[in-house]
A and B are shown apart, each in its own frame.
Chain A
C-alpha cells in the first residue's frame, strides 16, 4: 500500500513522519541531528530512499548529510573516519565545502553585493538553505546557499561546484539581504526541459537559466515592490517562494514579500493574483498535485507582524490559479494563534486525494488528506519548523 513520508527540518533537529496512504496515523522518527539547525531535507524523485539534508550551525558551519535508506541511517557523503585521502593524497570528498568559484576558467570574480546599510559587502558563504535533487539522477543535487549562489554536486553530495554564472550575472551589486539573509532559497527544475532552471533569491528576485545553469536571466518584469527605490527594478525584489505544476511548467506562482503573483510565460511577465486574500504578505505557496490551477498560500499579517491576521491560522486555496481565494479553517486554530509558516514549510503529496502539509514556527505540522478541506495536527510540539517536504511512497 502506498504511503507518505514527511521530511521536517527544524531549528533543533530533523524529524521524519510516516504514514500509510490513509494518512490518519503517523509515526514520528527523530530528532535526527539533535541540536543542529536543519534548514532543509529533500528526497530524490528518481530514488525515494536517497535523501539529502542541510545541517547547519552558527558555531560549526555547514554539514551535508545523505541517507540511502529513506532516513534510517545518515552519512556525510564520502568522509569515513580515518580515511582522509585517496592513494594520491587528495581528500576523498569535501561534502561540507562550499567555495565560490573564482577561477579564471570556469568562475566569476568574487564581487560585492549591497548590504543592509547600502554599502557594498563581499560575498561570504554562510549556509545551505535549500537542496533540490535532480528529477532523474539521484547523485545530482543542487544547493541554494547564503550569500546567494547556486551549487551543484554530481557525485551524491561528495563535492560541490558553483554554477557561477548566476552570482556573476552582473546585477550582483544591486542584490541585498532580506531579514533572513541574502539567501537563494528556491530551486525549481523544469520537468519538460532539463536545460531550464528557476531560482529565487531574497532580495534579488527570480532568475531563469535555459542552458542548465551556465547563464541566467532576471525574470522580474511585472513585480512591484514599494520597499525598494525603484519599485519595478530589474532586480532587488524580495521573492519568498516560487511553485510550479509539472504538467504546466511554463506557469509559475510566486509568493513575494507582499503580493501573490502568477506568470503564464516562464517568468517573462508576472501578474498579481492576490485577489480577495486578507493580506498578501506570506512565505509559502504550493500547487495541488493533480490540479494545476489549484494553489495554496498562508497569509501572514505583515512584514513586521509575522503571524496570521486576527490570530486565525488559515490556509487559502484558489481553484482558479489565483484572484479568487477561499479560507480553509477546519481543524486549524481560529483564535490566539501567532505562529509563522516559513517559505520551505509547505508540501503536497501525490495521492488521491492530494495531501497538503505545512509546519509552523510554533512546532506544529498540520496535514490535510483531502486537499485542504480538513486539517489535523500530525505533531504539535516540535522545535520551530523550517521546512517540510512530502514524499509519496509506492
Chain B
C-alpha cells in the first residue's frame, strides 16, 4: 500500500484523518498515485491537478524522502521507500499567505 499525506483542507473534504493508503497496480508514479486517490476519494477530483490539463495545481507540491518531487515527470517512478510503504508521499499546500 502506498501511504499519502494530504493537506488538511483535502483531508476535510475527503472526510479522512491522518494518512490515507491506496493500492497501486503497476508502476508507482505521481500520476498513478493521484489516479488512485481520485478513484477512492472522487470528491478530490480537480483539487490536486487541473481537470483539463491534468497538471499539478500550481500551489501544491509533492515531497517524499525529504526531496521535492514537484517538478519530476508525473510518470517518473517514485522513490523505493514510497513504493515499499516505508515513507509517505506528501502532498503539501504552498505557504503563500491566506
Q: Do A and B come from one complex?
A: yes
Q: Which residues of A contact B (CB under 8 A)?
A: 33-36, 57-63, 76, 79-84, 91-94, 96-99
Distance in Å: Cβ of A111 to nearest Cβ of chain B? 16
A81 touches B57 (CB 8 A): no
CB-CB nearest in chain B for A33: B12
Measured in the bound complex, the distance between the Cα atoms of B8 and A99 in whole Å is 26
A97 touches B93 (CB 8 A): no
B47 touches A61 (CB 8 A): yes
Q: Which of B1-53 contact A (CB under 8 A)?
A: 7-10, 12-15, 38-43, 45-48, 50-52
A residues in contact with B13, CB < 8 Å: 60, 63, 76
Interface size on B, residues (CB 8 A): 28
B47 touches A63 (CB 8 A): yes
B9 touches A82 (CB 8 A): no
Distance in Å: Cβ of B32 to nearest Cβ of chain A? 15
Distance in Å: Cβ of A210 to nearest Cβ of chain B? 31
B60 CB-CB contact with A under 8 Å: yes
A residues in contact with B48, CB < 8 Å: 60
B residues in contact with A84, CB < 8 Å: 38-40, 42
CB-CB nearest in chain B for A82: B40
A79/B42 contact (C-beta < 8 A), A59-B57, A60-B57 known: yes
Distance in Å: Cβ of A151 to nearest Cβ of chain B? 13
B98 touches A83 (CB 8 A): no
Distance in Å: Cβ of A62 to nearest Cβ of chain B? 7
Distance in Å: Cβ of B84 to nearest Cβ of chain A? 25
Measured in the bound complex, the distance between the Cα atoms of B93 and A97 in whole Å is 21
Q: With contacts defined as CB atoms under 8 Å apart, how many contacts are there between chain A and chain B in the complex? A: 71
A96 touches B46 (CB 8 A): yes
Measured in the bound complex, the distance between the Cα atoms of B45 and A61 in whole Å is 10
Measured in the bound complex, the distance between the Cα atoms of B40 and A134 in whole Å is 32
- Interface readout for B58-98 with A: 1 if CB under 8 Å, 0 if not? 01100000000000000000000000000000000110101
Distance in Å: Cβ of B63 to nearest Cβ of chain A? 15
Q: Which residues of B contact A (CB under 8 A)?
A: 7-10, 12-15, 38-43, 45-48, 50-52, 57, 59-60, 93-94, 96, 98
Chain A at the B interface: mostly helix, strand, loop or mixed?
loop
A residues in contact with B96, CB < 8 Å: 58
Among B12, B51, B94, the residue within 8 A (CB) of A99 is B51
A-B contact pairs, 14 of them (CB 8 A): A35-B8, A59-B60, A59-B98, A61-B46, A63-B13, A63-B47, A76-B13, A79-B43, A81-B41, A82-B40, A91-B45, A96-B51, A97-B45, A98-B51
Measured in the bound complex, the distance between the Cα atoms of B57 and A184 in whole Å is 23
Among A58, A76, A92, A93, the residue within 8 A (CB) of B98 is A58
A residues in contact with B8, CB < 8 Å: 35
A81/B15 contact (C-beta < 8 A), A59-B60, A60-B47 known: yes
A81 touches B43 (CB 8 A): yes
A residues in contact with B12, CB < 8 Å: 33-35
B42 touches A59 (CB 8 A): no
CB-CB nearest in chain B for A60: B47
Measured in the bound complex, the distance between the Cα atoms of B47 and A99 in whole Å is 14
Distance in Å: Cβ of B40 to nearest Cβ of chain A? 6
B9 touches A92 (CB 8 A): no
Measured in the bound complex, the distance between the Cα atoms of B41 and A83 in whole Å is 8
Distance in Å: Cβ of A140 to nearest Cβ of chain B? 22
A94/B93 contact (C-beta < 8 A), A58-B59, A99-B52 known: no
Known: A35-B9, A76-B13, A93-B42. 7 other contacts (CB 8 A): A57-B9, A59-B59, A60-B47, A61-B57, A62-B46, A84-B40, A92-B42
